Amino acid sequence: MIDALWGWPPPVLDPAGPYSERVTILAWVLLAMALVVTLIVVIALWIAVKGPDSLKRKLGGEKTVWIGGIAFPGVVLSVLLVWGLMMTGSLSEPITGKEMRIRVVGEMWWFRVQYLDNQGRVVMDGANEIHIPTNVPVVLELTSADVIHSFWVPHLSGKKDMIPGRVTLLRIEADRPGVFGGVCAEYCGGPHALMGFVTVAHEPEEWKQWAVQRNIALGEAIEPFGSVDVAGALPVVDDDVPPRIPPTPIVGEAARGRALFMSVGCAACHRVAGTEANGLAGPDLTHVGSRRTLGAGILPNHLGTMMGWIGDSQAIKPGIRMPSYDRLPAEDIAAMAMWLEQQK
């Protein structure tokens, strides 16, 4: 599942949205330019060293410098510059206020994801997974809780730094559904190499279902992502919401896991909405069971990996803030993992 996100074709050359698409065209043109100029220089060098005298004489004068070193690059660079500046302009269109808003906070070494309504209030918390509808412009409000991180989903857009004390804005938009990998691109110490996330683009209908389910499960009264004056493509919560999903009854081992989660210390750092677990230091685990990855985009998420993560997270991702719960018996860890995996 994760491995399908990368590799060939390279994400930078495989755009999944309007912003990255324009850059991809630019990238191909630039690559072609670089190849042609390299060839010119190599051929010129070959002539200079081994070429016939007639060609050498033509090359061996100051005219070569004027043409090859000044006129030709001057023209090429000017054209590229104008194109690049125009593209920069079009990629940084002003925010209209009608885009979907998601706040992403870089933390050492994971991403806090907060879905906002159009007033900027947090509708739902998540971590390391961003769900967006296709063909809807999304403005990400990026910031950091500690050091500088950088947000990058190559399929969707260029990167943008997440800087403490500032909010930087990044537009993304997907034009096809899919799961797109992302990473932290600014060195942020320790296990920076293992700080990733996934962006999941859904068909708007599917996304609506996803959002509505969670919002209701949260018991929040706020309508998600703006109400009335939101762009037409944006799903609006209206009366025909799907029926509320009855909460899974927690019985047996899972119930024991839930009690353990509260008592052994997990709740001090993690929040699970609707329970007394209210910690804010670590990722919100309200819907952890439905996430695709564990450990900030590095492991598939299922009961087995959840157990391994709780039991010995330091062996999997050394240096992170979460300690290995290696003093607990495996049965207890299994119980907690079982309960967490039910938090869909």
Partner 1 sequence: MKSRITRQVPGRGLGLPGLARAGALTALALVSACKEPPTTRRMPDSAAASRGLALIDKVGCGACHEIPGLDWPKGRLGPSLAGFDDVGLIAGHLPNRPGTLAAFIRNAPAVKPGSTMPPMPLTEEQAADIAAYLYGIDND
Partner 2 sequence: MNSETGFDPALYDRFPTEKQPDEDVEELNRIWAAPKGWGLLTAVNNNYIGFWYVATSFLFFLLAGILALGMRVQLAAPMQEFLPQDTYNQFFTMHGTVMMFLFAVPAVEAIGVMLLPQMLAARDLPFPRLSAYAFWAYFVGGLAFFCSLFVGLAPDGGWFMYPPLTSETYSPGLNADFWLLGIGFIEISAIAGAVEIIVGVLRTRAPNMTLDRMPMFAWAMLVFAVMIVLAFPAVILCTMLLEIERAFNWPFFDPTRGGDPMLWQHLFWFFGHPEVYIIFLPAAGLMSVMVTSIARTELIGYRLNVLALVATGFISFGVWAHHMFATDMPAVSTGYFSAASMAVSLPAGIQVFCWIATLASGKVQSTTPAHFVIGSIVTFTMGGLTGVMVGLVPFDLQVHDTYFIVAHLHYVLIGGMVFPMFAAFYTWAPMTSSKALSDKLGKWIFWLMFTGMHVTFLPMHLTGFMGMPRRVYTYLPGRGFDVLNLTSTIGSFILGAGILLFLFDLARNFRFSTEESAGNVYRGGTLEWLPSGLYSTRSIPVVHSRQPLWDNPNICDEVEEGRYFLPNAPTGTRETLITSPIRAEPQYVQLMPGPSPWPLAAAVFTAGFFLSLTVQAYMFGIFCGVIAVFSVLRWLWETDRPLPDKKEVDIGGGIMVPVAITGPKGHGWWALNVLMVVLGMIAFMAVFAYLYLYGINPEVWIDPPSLGETALIVGANGVALACTWIGRWILKRRAGGYAHDAPWVFQAIAAVILAGSLYLDMTGWQDIGLRPTESGMGAIVFMLMVLQGQVVIISLIMAAYLGFREARGLLTTPTNVTMDIVARFIAYSAIQGTALTLLPRLFLGG
Q: What are the residues binding partner 1 (CB under 8 A)?
A: 1-3, 294, 299-300, 302-305, 307-309, 311-312, 314-318, 324, 326, 329-331, 333-334, 337-338
State which of residues 166, 244, 302, 321 lies at the interface with partner 2 (CB under 8 A): 166
CA distance 283 to 279: 9
User: Treating both helix axes as pointing N-terminal to C-terminal, what angle do 72-91 and 18-50 enclose, rounded to 10 degrees?
Assistant: 170
State which of residues 103, 160, 270, 291 lies at the interface with partner 2 (CB under 8 A): 160
Considering the complex, state which of residue 43 and residue 245 has its C-beta at the smaller distance from partner 2: 43
Considering the complex, state which of residue 138 and residue 310 has its C-beta at the smaller distance from partner 1: 310
CA distance 233 to 132: 12
- State the minimum distance, in angstroms, from the CB of residue 325 to partner 1: 9
Q: Taken in order 131, 137, 141, 144, is the CA torsion positive or negative?
A: positive
CA distance 44 to 55: 9
Out of partner 2, partner 1, none, what residue 329 binds, judged by CB under 5 to 8 A for its kind, is partner 1
Q: Which of residues 194-213 bind partner 2 (CB under 8 A)?
A: 194, 196
The site map against partner 2 for 94-133 (x = CB under 8 A) is --------------x-------------------------
Using CB under 8 A as the binding rule, whether residue 216 contacts partner 2 is answered as no
Neighbours of 2 (CB within 10 A): 15
Q: Taken in order 342, 142, 19, 98, is the CA torsion positive or negative?
A: positive
- State the minimum distance, in angstroms, from the CB of residue 163 to partner 2: 6
- State the minimum distance, in angstroms, from the CB of residue 324 to partner 1: 8
CA distance 2 to 215: 27
Query: What ranges make up the beta strands (E) of the chain?
Result: 100-107, 110-116, 122-127, 129-133, 138-144, 149-152, 160-162, 168-172, 178-184, 196-202, 293-294, 299-300
- Helix %, strand %, coil % of the chain (to 5): 40, 20, 40
Considering the complex, state which of residue 1 and residue 79 has its C-beta at the smaller distance from partner 1: 1
State which of residues 141, 186, 284, 332 lies at the interface with partner 2 (CB under 8 A): 186
State which of residues 178, 191, 204, 279 lies at the interface with partner 2 (CB under 8 A): 191
Out of partner 1, partner 2, none, what residue 241 binds, judged by CB under 5 to 8 A for its kind, is none
The site map against partner 2 for 63-92 (x = CB under 8 A) is -xx-xxxx--xx--xx-xx-xxx-xxx-xx
